[in-house]
Structure 1
């Protein structure tokens, strides 16, 4: 692990805008060298949290610590963080090399040294051949690499990324996810990445922090959060789960764990449902269902399994699952 790697810790951090709590007493420790995704819907507090770590928002209460230093009152340039913005914020009148070297120029690094460091960073992100071009002459993916090189050239302890992939087309987004993960491993520092995409968080993160209404709902690895959601919100937001209630409480059951059979006339009413939609997805088929009590269910079936017993909209089917596939949700 590099010498500049450090833990990032938030202790009872709050952000208020007047009477509105954007971030509500959250505590979180991100170990050095972690790829952490702050995940949640718009307005959940994830971007406000990122901006407080960066020093672009004042903290209303609590402490933010990087390594052994409380950084609440430090300006952004002295925190050891670097920010990569959603729109990349490249200077249109500066060429690629000058864009990457800009932060070093502001720090007073001599011209020859800062340009040398900029060229080394451009080589690392495979953009050395574009050093003389202006940002407008680059594709979206190339601009992203330049923004990343500009953030990393300052040798930060923590890199902060605010929805960095949202402006890219789906194919390029997948390719850039792989690149971000590779750079995080190579640099060995923590990346803290804000996203509203469950797929993005699961593909990238070592640690997923699910936020809702200014609070942290759950922290864990992608597998832990997806397979063992603690709350109804996490199960629904992560997707791929059915919420089933009975007299004992609520359960999450993964859509791929539901099994559908042709109706047996003797089947109990609470074990049957009506097919409301069938959606072909290539390797899988999504079958939407509605039970007599109004509960909506989703079954994700392998294509070959659906083809053995195809169902159509309006069919009544038996719905089953193994008891061991039920995951109890907090009240």
Structure 2
């Protein structure tokens, strides 16, 4: 495949529903062969963006380019994209094999050829032995693999995933994350994955696009995003950051980079606060703090350090940090 054949570019792309602007003139380039996660809270515009790329929603304005083609006005079936829905949308009355082969049937491919291709894809996602079963006879993880095989049979340049892991239990979700990443690496084309889970985006993506109120707040690698959030919204949404105001400057400091003490530490910045709650998280203890001028204030204390000198709700503390751990926000 050409190096840019599955590069996706959105140019001033907008979607309006009546007087409501769901996606507001966004610009984005998703490199060919990358795993991109559109991340943000409900209503931020990420699913509308995905559906416009897929051709399931029309763009109100702007352009969508895939490789060297403008696909903005093309029907979904002619775009070179395939969508894997949150519900998997499998046909309950069809066998697994016929579910996967369905799109080829609609294209007029003969039965033997489409079944041969469908069976090969089922083998690829370790579902070959289940070809004759109905979707209701499969687990959630197995249904997901069938949905993936069905999407892949169209040989798309871009695979679009709409919260594909949200219906799975936590253990299976982690396992399927690893499988998705492996499939994307093996197949070599572009994945665009919508999620509201920061953990999911951090685990999967080469490129994370954080959206808020129809606009893009930041585009970065997971490491860049977590260590250098561009705005207050990104710092708060990603979690693990405290947003503070020092004079006229707004900053963020990671919760795991702060240290709690009874007296201020020499050579550090600090704020005095009160312990509001304590939550044991295994490898660390999350100490939530109350401060009149700081909302959502917390410090992650290593487990061993906490139990050597426990904190209790109501305790007066100093939260300390060093200047090299400060990140300025726009």
Work out the number of aligned pairs and report it.
Answer: 329
| Partners of 2:34 and 2:209 in 1: CA distance | 12
Confirm or deny: 8 A CA contact 1:270 1:291 kept in the other structure: no
Q: CA deviation at 1:291?
A: 2.7
Q: How does 1:162-173 map to 2 (within 5 A)?
A: 162-173=162-173
Name the structure 2 match of 1:247: 247
CA RMSD between the two structures: 1.9
Confirm or deny: 8 A CA contact 1:263 1:272 kept in the other structure: no
Asked if 1:130 corresponds to 2:130, the answer is yes
Secondary structure class of the residue paired with 1:126: coil
Q: How does 1:74-223 map to 2 (within 5 A)?
A: 74-223=74-223
Q: CA deviation at 1:305?
A: 1.3
Q: CA deviation at 1:104?
A: 1.1
Asked if 1:324 corresponds to 2:324, the answer is yes
Confirm or deny: 8 A CA contact 1:91 1:99 kept in the other structure: yes
Name the structure 1 match of 2:67: 67
Confirm or deny: 8 A CA contact 2:269 2:321 kept in the other structure: no
Name the structure 2 match of 1:258: 258
| Partners of 1:157 and 1:269 in 2: CA distance | 51
| Partners of 2:33 and 2:44 in 1: CA distance | 25
Q: CA deviation at 1:174?
A: 0.6
Confirm or deny: 8 A CA contact 2:101 2:118 kept in the other structure: yes
When residues 294 and 74 of structure 1 are mapped into structure 2, their CA distance, relative to the original with a 3 A threshold, is: closer
Q: CA deviation at 1:292?
A: 5.1
| Partners of 2:156 and 2:270 in 1: CA distance | 56
Confirm or deny: 8 A CA contact 1:5 1:188 kept in the other structure: no
**TM-score (norm: length of structure 1):** 0.96
Confirm or deny: 8 A CA contact 1:84 1:162 kept in the other structure: yes
Q: CA deviation at 1:308?
A: 2.3
Name the structure 1 match of 2:312: 312
Q: Which moved more, 1:302-311 or 1:37-46?
A: 302-311
| Partners of 2:275 and 2:85 in 1: CA distance | 44
Moved over 2 A (4+): 1-5, 268-271, 291-296
When residues 145 and 295 of structure 1 are mapped into structure 2, their CA distance, relative to the original with a 3 A threshold, is: closer
| Partners of 1:137 and 1:92 in 2: CA distance | 10
Q: CA deviation at 1:26?
A: 0.2
Confirm or deny: 8 A CA contact 2:250 2:328 kept in the other structure: yes
**TM-score (norm: length of structure 2):** 0.96
Secondary structure class of the residue paired with 1:168: coil
* Cα deviations by residue, 1:142-188 (Å, 9 ceiling, x for unpaired): 00000000001111000000011111111111111011111000100
When residues 61 and 276 of structure 1 are mapped into structure 2, their CA distance, relative to the original with a 3 A threshold, is: same
Confirm or deny: 8 A CA contact 2:22 2:44 kept in the other structure: yes
Segments of 5+ residues of structure 2 without an aligned counterpart are none
Segments of 5+ residues of structure 1 without an aligned counterpart are none
Confirm or deny: 8 A CA contact 2:88 2:144 kept in the other structure: yes
Q: CA deviation at 1:270?
A: 6.5
| Partners of 1:293 and 1:221 in 2: CA distance | 31
Secondary structure class of the residue paired with 2:173: helix
| Partners of 1:67 and 1:163 in 2: CA distance | 25
| Partners of 2:66 and 2:221 in 1: CA distance | 22
Name the structure 1 match of 2:285: 285
| Partners of 1:181 and 1:293 in 2: CA distance | 41
